[in-house]
Chain A
């Protein structure tokens, strides 16, 4: 596969690994955060940590849009799905996220009409085919996905569709990064910037990290070599005492982002005054809601949504994992009471969640990995 296979070459990985190790100051520990859940997934899926020296620890960040949805919003979505004549449509990632009364998957087993889609356009198709039903699209994702939702709303408006709306849970990445930077719990040396979010917002929004906090940022692609190269670029900055924003994923990310995408978002959505994030609490201007002009496509205006704030179960430590304070296996219920089959929190059930990635791919002690790599 072009633009994929070339970036998975093992020999180059060894070379990069050697260069990265050579840049480590003896005796110094480095903590680099990969913000994006997609990066966490790639790191574990390809066994990337095997290529890094002990001195470098990768800290998993909050860039998993499913993981940061608080339980109350999941309950709201379930309430919407349960409304008469509603067909709820959602990406697969949301299907097993537990609310107070089970997940979409459980509701489906009870008879609720919930359908998995791969694109918001599929949801629109369902709306056209079922004029007597009200179709709701569960819109989740960072700025990567918001433009697609926006374009879909614009299309629905252009067609005058009367039975389509979105339950908007799009969140923005910069406030989350800022919350991490301001958190007293963490001492990070650098950031792997979210590759696909940056195709929309560009690289400028991260400049404050380098300028005001003195931390280097490298916007990284999603193939294993992209990540290794980005780590190399971060280590180079650190060793040279620089703190800048660099774009490793330049084949896909334009420095100034995608103006058409930003326009579509701006036309249909606006920043909510505040929004609750699992683990990070209430953050101002961190999430998108539907604009007044498009109220006909806003499920929160069309339906009475409970809107109750629900605390995470006491046993759930997703918040700390999302902030990078805890590694997945350090959570008290990781792997025992909380597994992919029986998730207590979002980090274990989202395909981009750190806990899911570690449980499904990384649950090996380093020693056994060494043995395996000898074969």
Chain B
């Protein structure tokens, strides 16, 4: 119930400004975007979906930054493992 799922906005419904069709992994659903009326999402942008409403836009820059941090950690780890493998104290 507290589920928040990311979905991509595909299109708005022509006669209903509050509603938009989103795509979640190939599944399409109509949701209410009324909570984002101050900064409505455009087709192609991603939103967080909760009980049929979009609660927030997913900031792609922030997401990229988060991924960069995580990938960096992963890379640093790989480097360390590699270094560990190379340095043998005999």
Contact = CB atoms under 8 A, between A and B. Distances in A.
Nearest to B38: A260
A261 B74 CA distance: 37
A352 B1 contact: yes
A120 B73 contact: no
A148 interface: yes
A7 B71 CA distance: 10
B6 A118 contact: no
B53 A92 contact: no
A100 interface: no
B44 interface: no
Interface stretch (A161-169, A246-254, A314-322): A246-254
A241 to B, nearest CB: 22
A260 B32 contact: no
A4 B6 contact: yes
A222 B52 CA distance: 18
B82 interface: no
B37 A15 contact: no
Contacts of A145: 1-2, 50-51
A199 B55 contact: yes
Interface in A5-23: 6-7, 9, 11-12, 14-16, 18-19
Contact of A258 (B25, B35, B65): B35
Contact of B37 (A11, A12, A118, A260): A260
Contact of A93 (B1, B8, B69): B1
A14 B69 CA distance: 14
Secondary structure call for the B interface: mixed
A62 interface: no
A193 interface: no
A1 interface: yes
A121 interface: yes
Interface residues of B, number: 38
B66 interface: yes
A196 B1 contact: no
A93 B52 CA distance: 16
Interface in B31-87: 32, 34-38, 46, 48, 50-53, 55-56, 58-60, 62-63, 65-67, 69-71, 73-74, 76-78
Given A2-B6, A3-B58, A12 B51 contact: no
Nearest to A151: B34
B1 A15 contact: no
B38 A15 contact: no
Contact of B2 (A4, A196, A250): A196
Nearest to A248: B66
A12 B70 contact: yes
Contacts of B48: 196, 199, 252
A231 interface: no
Contacts of A352: 1-2
Contact of A144 (B25, B52, B55): B55
Contacts of B35: 147-148, 151, 258, 260-261, 264
Interface residues of A, number: 55
A145 B35 CA distance: 12
A343 to B, nearest CB: 16
Interface string A255-269: 000111100100000
A16 B63 contact: no
Contacts of A91: 1, 51
Contacts of B76: 15
B3 A251 contact: no
Contact of B70 (A1, A121, A225, A254): A225
A36 interface: yes
A200 interface: yes
B55 A196 contact: yes
B70 A251 contact: no
Given A6-B70, A251-B62, 12 more contacts: A3-B6, A11-B74, A12-B71, A121-B52, A142-B2, A148-B35, A148-B52, A196-B2, A196-B4, A251-B60, A251-B66, A260-B38
12 contacts: A6-B70, A7-B66, A11-B77, A16-B73, A141-B1, A141-B2, A151-B53, A196-B4, A199-B48, A200-B55, A258-B35, A264-B35
